Amino acid sequence: MTSSTTGTDNRASSSALEVVVGVGPLSIPDVVAVARHDARVVLHPDALAAVAETRRVVELLADDPEPHYGISTGFGALATTYIQSEDRERLQLSLIRSHAAGSGPEVEREVVRALMLLRLSTLMTGRTGVRPATAQAYADVLNAGITPVVREYGSLGCSGDLAPLAHCALAVIGEGEVRTADGVLVPSALALAEAGIRPITLAEKEGLALINGTDGMLGMLALAITDLSALYRTADLTAAMSVEALLGTDAVFAADLQALRPQVGQADSAANLRAILAGSPIVASHAGPQDPTVQDAYSLRCAPQVNGAGRDTLAHARQVAGRELASAVDNPVVTLDGRVVSNGNFHGAPVAYVLDFLAIAAADAASMAERRIDRHLDVSRNKGLPAFLADKAGVDSGLMIAQYTAAGIVSELKRLAVPASVDSIPSSAMQEDHVSMGWAAARKLRRAVDGLTRVLAIELLTAARSLDLRAPLQPGPATAAARAMLREHVAGPGPDRPLSAEIEAAVALVAGGAVLTAVEAVTGPLR
């Protein structure tokens, strides 16, 4: 997916090649830089000193005959079981081993890297009680490009993303499997040795501190926010191309009409449509009283309303993500006045909700785009274009089945829009009796983002062919730039040919941001 710079930027000492952890909350661009672009992680020395100071609090409590959760007790339903000092190292090791219970396909490298960075960020707040060496080990693993093998299933999104984080901790202690920077699957001990990293030996509370966070779902939220920020601008582009190619009107996007309903995202989307359609000879060719169309179909006329609502949902998600990035999520947590206190901040509800909201909005944007795709192909609605945009309708099927592909994706997106966060299943002998399912919400959102990307790519293909078939009328400068970028990779109208490779080429242009860059070179930055 594309990597735009979205989110609240409070990076302080970060750059494109380096992210400093411990000088304040990480930003969404920080997460993307490390997760996708292998930016180097540097731990701020003042923050490391604060981590060491907090560690002393934990060590004092470890000597206390009174039980303290996570330090001298068991976990979950075993929280009342006192653990003798000679068994506490084994306690932490057993916690990581037992919780590394993931199943299913491997999770993507960028997700695992985001997860590890965000856990490290919490460790560096000085509120978890780990040793500085443990935090440094996480930074070293990230900087070596070592990626623990994390499995698809295992997190309920409460008490943290337990299994995914446990697999990361397992790798840092020299157990389990990892991928090297080259993607080779090897035992963790071998990868650490080759990178010159000494496996850590867990001390009191450290095992718990390494797995008790919302880092997996938050990392996937940060990546999705980045992708969707670009995709909503792309959705405005493909909508504008469809309006133009289907001889729609741009009059409904006028600023004064949009101001009658002062939704921020809607105004931004409409402004983009106006900018993209500016100077279009095709739009000018049928503008004015001679245009027999009283009103365009909703999928054309209401594009700013739908794409704009998605933007507003994205803005809310960005706000929630910013707060979560500023959080120290652990249980128990070491407070600023030196107490070690149990809490419920590991519950993933705030993140889970917005992950679900974004999947709903993505499904709706894709659904509207698919309706525009279908309109291009239907001779009763496409205003003079050939059936299915075929070279010789009947002999050729044109883009008929490309619409089927889009429709199949949209159908799946509607299923993915069913919220995960309304589900809950009790665990740990009813001690953990309500969970967020935020990890599941994040996993399906990643699939939804991919689906939206593909539907927009198919609309790009379809609208570009329609524009070609409007010749000798020519599109406006911005839409012409989008079409020209596509034509560098995909041929124009002609007899039937296999479409799969062409669709994938368009997907790459959308996901990589090339088509959006070409348009913004004409319009300036879109909103």
At 379 the pLDDT is 97
Which residues of the chain register pLDDT less than 50? 1-15
Active site residue 404: no
Residue 12 is given by DSSP the state S
CB 200 within 8 A of CB 169: no
At 63 the pLDDT is 76
CB 384 within 8 A of CB 470: no
Candidates 434, 488, 496; CA nearest to 460 is 488
Structure tokens, 245: 């190619």
At 10 the pLDDT is 36
List, for residues 418-467, the tens digit of each pLDDT value: 999 998 888 776 777 778 889 999 999 999 999 999 999 999 999 999 99
The torsion angles phi and psi of 187, rounded to 5 degrees, stand at -65, 145
Candidates 177, 173, 174, 176; CA nearest to 203 is 173
Cα 57 to chain centroid, rounded: 37
At 111 the pLDDT is 98
At 8 the pLDDT is 36
At 395 the pLDDT is 97
Which residue among the candidates 69, 138, 232, 404 is catalytic per the annotation?
69
**Mean predicted lDDT score pLDDT of the chain:** 92
Structure tokens, 159: 């008490």
Rounded Cα gap, residues 428 and 406, in angstroms: 42
Q: Which domains does the chain have, with CATH numbers?
A: 18-213 (1.10.275.10), 220-327+359-523 (1.20.200.10)
At 78 the pLDDT is 64
